[in-house]
């Protein structure tokens, strides 16, 4: 098994990058599109730092499915890039580099969500049953579909 793993998915959005970027750079807006919204109706959220861009932080704690962790925007280049430092604490510890590339495509854009991480004992164990790509890829697809819907509905 490799020392690292990568999960990546893309979606075409019928909206310009300028309409998509704010939905990613502001964690307050993730509730409208994150694929993990709804896994715990009692999820506790805590926001720190600026509302969006570098230094914006988000921590969550929830049931067994939601787990606990935190994210921080480490880089934001409107309208083309958002990079996030992602740390899971429960149900297992993991540290991931996550980024969203937003590239013009026709009259809209292509949004690519990528996450890389080091293979840990927990991910090795999960890897015996399935790959991280098969485990998280469908969630990325669900989130990107929701992001497309939210971005396309946002007024110009």
Integer Cα distance of 108 and 152 in angstroms: 9
Within 8 A by CB and 6+ apart from 109, the residues are 12, 13, 15, 16, 17, 20, 102, 103
pLDDT for 14: 98
9-13, 32-36, 95-99, 135-139: segment of lowest average pLDDT:
135-139
pLDDT band for 60, please (50, 70, 90 cuts).
very high
Q: What percent of the chain has pLDDT over 90?
A: 77
What is the per-residue DSSP string for 82-123? EEEEEEEEESS-EEEEEEEEEEEETTEEEEEEEEEEE--HHH
The string of pLDDT tens digits covering residues 108-119 is 999 999 999 987
Overall average pLDDT of the 125-132 stretch: 65
Q: Is the pLDDT of residue 127 over 80?
A: no
Q: Supply the pLDDT for residue 4.
A: 86
Tell me the pTM: 0.91
Please give the C-alpha separations between residue 142 and each of 47, 56, 138, in angstroms, as whole numbers. Answer: 24, 24, 6
The answer on pLDDT for 130 being more than 80 is: no
Q: Count of H helices and E strands in the chain?
A: 3, 7
Would you list the domain boundaries of the chain? Answer: 4-153
Look up the CATH architecture of domain 4-153.
2-Layer Sandwich (3.30)
Please choose, from the candidates 89, 65, 85, 66, the residue with its C-alpha nearest in 3D space to the C-alpha of residue 76.
Answer: 85
Q: Is the pLDDT of residue 35 over 70?
A: yes
pLDDT at residue 81 tops 60: yes
Q: State the average pLDDT for the chain.
A: 92
């Amino acid at each position: 098994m490799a020392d690292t793993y990568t999960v990546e998915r893309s979606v075409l959005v019928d909206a310009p990058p300028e309409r998509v970027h704010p939905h990613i750079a502001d964690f307050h807006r993730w509730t409208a599109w994150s694929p993990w919204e709804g896994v715990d109706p009692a999820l506790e959220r805590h926001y720190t730092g600026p509302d969006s861009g570098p230094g914006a932080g988000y921590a969550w704690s929830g049931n067994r499915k939601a787990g606990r962790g935190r994210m921080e925007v480490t880089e934001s280049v409107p309208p083309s890039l958002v990079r996030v430092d992602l740390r899971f604490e429960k149900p297992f510890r993991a540290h991931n580099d996550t980024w969203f590339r937003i590239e013009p495509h026709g009259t809209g854009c292509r949004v690519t969500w990528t996450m890389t991480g080091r293979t840990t004992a927990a991910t090795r164990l999960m890897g015996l049953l399935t790959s991280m790509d098969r485990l998280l890829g469908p969630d990325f697809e669900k989130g990107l579909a929701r992001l497309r819907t939210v971005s396309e509905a946002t007024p110009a």
